[in-house]
Structure 1
Amino acid sequence: MKPLRVGIAGLGTVGAGVVKLLAQQAELITARAGRPITVTAVSARDRNRDRGVSLDGLIWHDDPLALAWDENVDVVVELIGGSDGPAKALAEKALAAGRPLVTANKALLALHGTALAQAAEDASLPLAYEAAVAGGIPVIKVLREGLAANRVSRVAGILNGTCNYILTIMREEKRDFGDVLADAQRLGYAEADPSFDIDGVDAAHKLAILAGLAFGQKIDFSSLHVEGIRRISALDIVFAQELGYRIKLLGIAERTEAGISLRVHPAMVPVSKPIATVDGVFNAVLLEGDFSGPVFLQGRGAGEGPTASAVVADLIDIARGNQIPVWGMAQSKLAEARVVPMAHLTSAYFLRLMVVDQPGVLADVTAILRDHGISLESMLQHGRKPGEAVPIVLVTHETREDAVNAALARISMLESVLEAPALIRIEPK
């Protein structure tokens, strides 16, 4: 049996994990792939770093692009990361040189996935990316294969383990965001620069990929609405619990009559929903197909083992000769993205105001809400502190986002309102 020879660019946690997994599970993988899968060449920045795996006998390339033309490489695995630079160049060169491509690079696919998919289709080559979204959860395979006969109406998920960990600890230990973030960085759950995670960008990259697959549309990353969790306070989490919700950073893509809604933001999730119980560094994705009904997937979204497992699953498909169009259908069948503006979203809202406890404040606030056609479902206020700052929480009935934003702009100008109001969208019960 002729082995599938693999060249790996990037020997960080995931790259080393792929080398380790292919070695430790060689017999099982050979049986399932129909032939051996072996690493023959690698490229990384530091030759001398101890990665906990043997690289003896492997060809080493200082320039990752050399993998694209190495005659000892049948398939290129790109694990460098980043939307541009060496990762993009390697992806393009590998496909141009006739090499199938496996990548775990969500930023690359979110920003350049349409062009890369066209290059792969033109060359009749596989471009596989199971590891790019949700680590060890096989959500790409479920969408491209398991739900291929379905018209998917909604994708919603916890797509970033760092944010989910932070929000979980904030709730369980009643601690503030900054304090928990610092701990997460110390424990290695958050990067030294955590911006991509906590500002929602990482989750948005993954949502863009899922939306492209789910709805058969060309990806337009710039059309996504993206918010992170920096402004979520311990107080918000306490109020959420009192109201029967948990706060999660969600990526949501759904079909509407007006088009596709694409958004990443913190959301109040009813505690009765399965996704509300997904805590710590775990990810979860809910897919809704017209014939399948809801499909709920949960697992580890990152880490050496889960992500390496997803990379090797793609290699097994390639070894078997299984090839599926990158976005589930031919490029010519993909629709142009028709994205609904965030201002047109209809939702219920959690609004928290910090106000001076004095007569007339609530009347002023509710008058502004009335002027913008916003009705209230409930209100919470804990205790009285005349003349001092107190939080007031308002829960609205369903209304339009632009109406809420216009009302909050006026409310924030009231002298009795001491800081910018907090807004969190509420998922239906």
Structure 2
Amino acid sequence: MASSRSAAAAALAVVLLLAGCGAGQEPQVDVSVAPPPGCATSGMAVTAPAAGAAVAAGPLLVAGSTPAASSTVYWSVRDGAGLEVSSGSTAGTGNSFLAPVDLAAGPYTAQLWSVASDGSCAVTGTALQVDPAGAPRWSAAVAGEGVPDGSFGSWRGSPVPMAGTWADSTDGQTALWPLTGEYASWTGDLEIAIGAIDSGAGESWAAAAQGAYDARWTESLQQAARLWSGHSGTLYIRFAHEFNGDWYPWSVTQASVGDFVTSWQRFRALQQQLFPASRLVFSPNWESDADFGGDWRAAFPGAGQVDVLSTSYYNNWSYVDTAQAFGQLALTYDPFGGPRGLQRHLEFARSVGLPFGISEWGAESGFGDSAVYVEQMYGFFNANAGTGGGQLQYEILFNELMDSRSFSLFPTTSLPNTAAAYARLW
């Protein structure tokens, strides 16, 4: 895959033999210059960046749809003077594609075309307005060291408008220690994960569905409303996060999905009654564990029950260090048919009309130190920023040192390439 000027020049030598693309012929076509003749002008579209949206200079992950479930997608980006500044190709998967480009400030036109295995092709185009680099246009949040005192923001060169934290034990749900401790005076937005039930203590989703824990959840919400009173930001409550994994005592299985949905709806009714100014976050893990054993979308509690759909997305298992690997992973589904890749999660958020968040993301040092991962995450955020359905409202970098597992970029790091890329882009 190529996205730089030098790579674009090299791509000019690429010649592809196409079988009957539109005109029923077999011409040799230099695919980096223009689409084959006879391509359909419908059936292919760019979905991000949105038409007319301004993006920032730097990495940009252009997303779109193709008429064929499997195809090769090519692109050519030209600047205001008509000079080609980026070209390349990528594999389209499941009627979707992601094209990584990196652009300086200025106006551009992009032409993109797909070629399916049967030789059929489709073409589309879009205008891109790229503004000078600056502070992120989305809520670029952080969890961990240096957030409350502002030192992390000073290090990266832009303020931190939102933070992430946890109080996810049954005691933590009612004590909400971060709201009386490090974030007691926080003036920005805050996402707090509060867990749900404790199966280790005999609690169950079946009992929750019957209202067994309503009293504790009521106390939690009343305490949150009281402690957050007077804060200028919004409190986002991440309830039962990563429920489709097996590592938390509120994990869900296929047998308990129905009770989970009913329980969520009970919690939502309490939240709307007791703390309606807060926002409720539905946050599955990026892929489902075998114990969950199904498509996590079956656990989605329905329209009006959620304010933000989010996920967790780390560079550890399924480690990537190339733009091509990042893009292909972003288009995957898990073995149970549920969205796994970042783009698939966002597409589901769009389908249910919810803004998208990434409640946890980052690199784990034991797997590798990839600047490319950070650059492509930025490219995804840059293309999708917004507060509407299927737009990226916020992302929370996990900046934590956890015993032998290090995700820290600041104040110390064992991920120098990752940290440098992050500080440069944010």
Q: TM-score, normalised by structure 1?
A: 0.25
Which structure is higher in strand share? 2
Q: Which has the higher contact order (CA 8 A, sep 6+)?
A: 1
Which structure is higher in helix share? 1
Q: TM-score, normalised by structure 2?
A: 0.25
